[in-house]
Amino acid sequence: MIDHRYCVILAGGIGTRFWPISREYRPKQFQKIWGYDNSFIQETFARMNRIFPADHILVATLDKYKAMTLEQLPELPEENIISEPYGRNTAPTVAYAARVLIERDPEALMVATPADHDISNYKLFCETIRKALDYAEENEVLLTLGIVPTRPDTSFGYIQVSGGPDAYEAGTPVKAKTFTEKPDAELAKVFVDSGEFLWNSGLFIWKATTVLEEMAAYCPELDNLWDGWKEAFASSEREAFIERAYAGSMRISIDYALMEKSEKVWILPAKFGWGDIGSWGTLYEFSEFKDEDGNIVEGKAPRIIRDCSKDMVYCADTGKLTVISGLENFMVIDTDKVLLVCPRDERKLQEIMSQLALPEFSEFK
């Protein structure tokens, strides 16, 4: 029996919300971050390899990260790297990856997963993915996993589902009603209390042909850039064609481009223990390595930490002694070229990141 099931790991981001440990030359997906034995991409590959053979796992990443990907994933066939010339967010990546799969297997069934998820129950995760694959194989749907929320959380997007708790407690796919980006604390509480909302996992399952059909209907400005792709992929013009398609692409997520518009979006509720480790804030919330004062401390350099609570401290082995006293809810990240001291607040870090666009700071990006 031919196996038409594939996984695409989305690993092309630069990880700016993990700056300054995540830098453009080595973004977060290739780094071991607090408490993990392997890098994010290695953890993701190992997790998906429980479901898919290595030759059915592909990695979509930027051209400049191809060598790093092969170094960290020696089991991955080189031809399974989908090299992107530019970073354009997830919709262009899906548009490209689906075509790569159709070129290989016209009946391809595709799981698309980010490279920065934390999963606590691998057995239940695998069971859920297989159930999702079975459903998508039999139905023309855009299926995503919705995580049953355990608390109001402003770090994640939310999906409202039809039928409320009775429907999603059954553990079968339910129809999506609305998508909401990261809400404020008050609205997040309303969502969770209502029982009608699930966390948006960003993990998708669909036939490659189905997602392209829906993209043609709901995001033609992106889909049109790939007109003539089959002929181009089979010719010496392949790389030039892909370069042009990406150069013309807008930066847009698959949620905005398609999931919030299509009538074929269904949600499979999931309870396998999930975290989207997309920022320092979410890493702090999910970390199991807090001390009795709520601090997370990592790094090999000598340090003295007094009267501090709920801080994140990383001290690279730079030969310096780090001394911190009297801080609460702060980040102190000391790397080879950057020392960051700021409140443990994602908005504050984003304000700092905006300054890195200035030419004099380019080497620190």
Residue closest to 82 by CA, chosen among 72, 73, 98, 71: 98
Cα–Cα dist 333/107, whole Å: 47
The helix/strand/coil state of 141 is coil
Residue closest to 77 by CA, chosen among 88, 69, 86: 69
Which pLDDT score, from 0 to 100, does residue 356 have? 82
Provide the residue-wise pLDDT of the chain in tens; the chain has 365 residues.
579 999 999 999 888 888 998 888 899 999 887 667 899 999 999 999 999 999 999 999 999 999 999 999 999 999 999 999 999 999 999 999 999 999 999 999 999 999 999 898 999 999 999 999 999 999 999 999 999 998 998 888 999 998 777 776 767 899 999 999 889 999 999 999 998 999 999 999 999 999 999 999 999 999 999 999 999 999 999 999 999 999 999 999 999 999 999 999 999 999 998 988 888 888 888 888 899 999 999 888 889 999 999 999 998 887 889 899 999 999 999 988 899 999 988 788 888 888 887 888 888 88
Which pLDDT score, from 0 to 100, does residue 42 have? 97
Residues 6 or more apart whose Cβ sits within 8 Å of residue 275: 117, 118, 282, 285, 286
* pTM, 2 dp: 0.93
User: Please, how many CA atoms are within 13 Å of residue 167, restricted to the half-sphere of its CB?
Assistant: 17
Report the CATH fold assignment for 5-281. Spore Coat Polysaccharide Biosynthesis Protein SpsA; Chain A (3.90.550)
At residue 25, φ and ψ (nearest 5 deg) are -75, -20
The helix/strand/coil state of 285 is helix
Which pLDDT score, from 0 to 100, does residue 1 have? 53
Q: ∠ at Cα 252 (353, 197), nearest 5°?
A: 90
Which pLDDT score, from 0 to 100, does residue 355 have? 85
Which pLDDT score, from 0 to 100, does residue 364 have? 86
**Which CA distances in Å does 337 have to 20, 323, 360, 363?**
9, 18, 14, 9
Which pLDDT score, from 0 to 100, does residue 170 have? 67
**For the chain, domain boundaries:** 5-281, 289-364
Give the burial class of 178: count Cβ atoms within 10 A of its Cβ; 0-12 exposed, 13-18 middle, 19 or more buried: exposed
